[in-house]
Structure 1
């Protein structure tokens, strides 16, 4: 589906939006509830990824197709490896078969797992025959996707001897590791993260508990961008959010102050307000701990005529698409002065913006949503717009609540 977008006639916006539970927290909670049946989950994400994850956890044999869901691929690899008696072929979309997973597979096989490659070595599809994993020590490079690390940490308490995980080198995406450990703590599972070593104690069962999933800060990022691009006085309230969030993307509340967006916390909600501020012409930011908001920040900068240099983006090369090259291509269409490397993005200041440009989304939900706020500055077309269902199925409806004009082509 193609959608034509243009902004509301009045860019002084005021409304309240309820955002679905975090995809990252939901998938972690789903796996833990499969390991420990006494766990209940509230405010579960209604995203495609969470639905695929929930369906995969119900299988023990046959083909498990997770489509575009990278988190599900990594988490289910660990889950099935340690699920005694399971025998599955874990596969996904064409893009998923191009996304590397060798580091995780090697680590699990070192722990005693039985995982083999059906086609190209190092990539899905994977043949996994679940068995008891009794070894409890393994090493991983520290600068890889945190999902590899979390896949191991999530199954760690179910292993008879727990797990000691040594991370080699500089650790990236620490907040996502902390999210995983925070959920283990909520369940009464002992863990320790010192220096480059994480240890998790075994736990055969947990007391019945309800995990309440916080709404998704990555999804909130698009409303931060909308407020930044709107008039002073704009106020958008989002629910349900916690001030002491486990999510790394909650760093938005600090980052967006430079764009004149003030965040205030109420009971399970945040209010974003556009306030007067001294405009800057250039920002620099290391996003190694929050790479999922890089697209939003780059587009916000372009929309406001602000230059930027974003670093720590090496994991974006292996996401749903090569997000750095995708940003380079699509922002260039709009008239941006942009350059990228394999781990950085640099944007020059620009006051010109092309109209009615068709934005390609590359099977990547974040490409569609990151570019949508630019409708406040120019009209544009979003190709394959329903790709947003991967993480935020209600996105276009919520934009219409804010009086954006959303028209199917």
Structure 2
């Protein structure tokens, strides 16, 4: 499905409810599978979370997680410690190109039995669940934090817990801290000192507990962008809290530099466009929040300002090579943009080419990040249904804001 997006709306006003964070939901789904006394509320309705839930409840030998990278990492650890169960964990063609070796080797250090079905270092992988007694492991710190979180999440079920030594500079610290906070919330003893992470085994019976998932800050990023690109806007989003576990809550500070003021009220945030705001070139290190890079770059293009973003090395192994995808699609729009293996530089633009077809590369964030530009020029989003990976209601909510969404060939 290709969608032509356009808008004649100058003043955005709406109240929108966004479902629970995919990041929190998938962590809690795994913990729920390990500890049956956990109940969950406000879980994500994303494809990734549905895939995760189905995989955890299934009993077949082949477990296909399609495009869900989080599920691939978390389930690798889960099945490795699921004693007596043998599975082949596989996914989409793109998933078979995404590396898993760092996590597999870390689990093998602990005594896990994992082998590659095809190319070494990549899915599909065959996992035979073992009783894990070893508890010390080292892992590169500059890889996807999901590898580290995968180990942390299964640690309470290990006989001796786990002690992880992170080697080198740590990437995406907020996501690691999110995992530790969720473990603490269910009563697990954890620590994070220097480059050492420790999780103690949970030896007592877990009392029944209901955990409510906060709404997804990554999904909120597209509304921050819309407000920044509007003439006037007051948009309320729920359910959010000021002291969020999610690293992408850094949006509040980042978008304050693009004329968006955020007000916290009970369980929601209200985004307000500041009139006559003076804009300047942005220089940001997104090492802790790489998932919002696409949104920020597109916003800067729409505002006519430049930006220099660093800390983006993990974007090379996402649903697509997001840095290269951004370079290609932004160039179509008339942007002067350059990328390296871990950075991106955008020059200020005075014009945006209209009616450009944006390829999405099976990447939900490509579709949603470019959509706000419809406030400036008509834009076509190819394979728009890809948003279901994390935000199935995105186009419905865009229509509620007054955008025309016309399906075309």
Q: Identify the residue that residue 214 of structure 2 maps to in structure 1.
A: 214
> Following superposition of structure 1 onto structure 2, how do residues 391-402 of structure 1 map, counting pairs within 5 Å?
391-402=390-401
Using the TM superposition, give the Cα deviation of residue 281 of structure 1 relative to its aligned residue in structure 2, in angstroms: 3.4
Contact 2:89 2:126 in 1 (8 A): yes
Q: Identify the residue that residue 279 of structure 2 maps to in structure 1.
A: 280
> Following superposition of structure 1 onto structure 2, how do residues 196-275 of structure 1 map, counting pairs within 5 Å?
196-204=195-203, 205-232=205-232, 234-275=233-274
Using the TM superposition, give the Cα deviation of residue 277 of structure 1 relative to its aligned residue in structure 2, in angstroms: 4.9
Q: Number of residue pairs matched?
A: 407
Using the TM superposition, give the Cα deviation of residue 279 of structure 1 relative to its aligned residue in structure 2, in angstroms: 2.0
Q: Identify the residue that residue 377 of structure 2 maps to in structure 1.
A: 378
**SS of the residue aligned with 1:154?**
helix
- Write out per-residue CA displacement over residues 158-183 of structure 1, whole angstroms, 9 at most, x where no aligned residue: 00100000001111100000000000
**SS of the residue aligned with 1:296?**
helix
Q: Identify the residue that residue 406 of structure 1 maps to in structure 2.
A: 405
Contact 1:61 1:87 in 2 (8 A): no
Q: Identify the residue that residue 193 of structure 1 maps to in structure 2.
A: 192
* 2: CA distance, partners of 1:334 / 1:386: 22
* 2: CA distance, partners of 1:281 / 1:178: 32
Using the TM superposition, give the Cα deviation of residue 267 of structure 1 relative to its aligned residue in structure 2, in angstroms: 1.2
Q: Identify the residue that residue 133 of structure 2 maps to in structure 1.
A: 134
Using the TM superposition, give the Cα deviation of residue 207 of structure 1 relative to its aligned residue in structure 2, in angstroms: 1.4
> Following superposition of structure 1 onto structure 2, how do residues 41-120 of structure 1 map, counting pairs within 5 Å?
41-120=40-119
Contact 1:13 1:236 in 2 (8 A): yes
More divergent stretch after superposition (198-207 vs 16-25): 198-207
Contact 2:4 2:378 in 1 (8 A): yes
Contact 1:281 1:349 in 2 (8 A): no
Moved over 4 A (4+): none
**SS of the residue aligned with 1:324?**
helix
Contact 2:9 2:403 in 1 (8 A): no
Using the TM superposition, give the Cα deviation of residue 55 of structure 1 relative to its aligned residue in structure 2, in angstroms: 0.6
**SS of the residue aligned with 1:80?**
helix
- Write out per-residue CA displacement over residues 298-332 of structure 1, whole angstroms, 9 at most, x where no aligned residue: 00000000100000000000000000000000000
Compute the RMSD of aligned alpha carbons. Answer: 0.7
Contact 1:89 1:125 in 2 (8 A): yes
Contact 2:86 2:128 in 1 (8 A): yes
**SS of the residue aligned with 2:174?**
helix
More divergent stretch after superposition (17-26 vs 53-62): 53-62
* 1: CA distance, partners of 2:153 / 2:69: 16
Contact 1:101 1:124 in 2 (8 A): yes
* 2: CA distance, partners of 1:133 / 1:60: 21
Contact 1:158 1:202 in 2 (8 A): yes
Using the TM superposition, give the Cα deviation of residue 214 of structure 1 relative to its aligned residue in structure 2, in angstroms: 0.4
Contact 2:164 2:198 in 1 (8 A): yes
**SS of the residue aligned with 1:236?**
strand
1:184 is the counterpart of 2:183: yes
* 2: CA distance, partners of 1:307 / 1:363: 27
Using the TM superposition, give the Cα deviation of residue 206 of structure 1 relative to its aligned residue in structure 2, in angstroms: 1.6
Contact 1:139 1:168 in 2 (8 A): yes
Using the TM superposition, give the Cα deviation of residue 194 of structure 1 relative to its aligned residue in structure 2, in angstroms: 0.2
- Write out per-residue CA displacement over residues 121-166 of structure 1, whole angstroms, 9 at most, x where no aligned residue: 0000000000101000000011110000000000000001000000
**SS of the residue aligned with 2:61?**
strand
Contact 1:61 1:86 in 2 (8 A): no
* 1: CA distance, partners of 2:322 / 2:182: 29
* 1: CA distance, partners of 2:366 / 2:304: 19
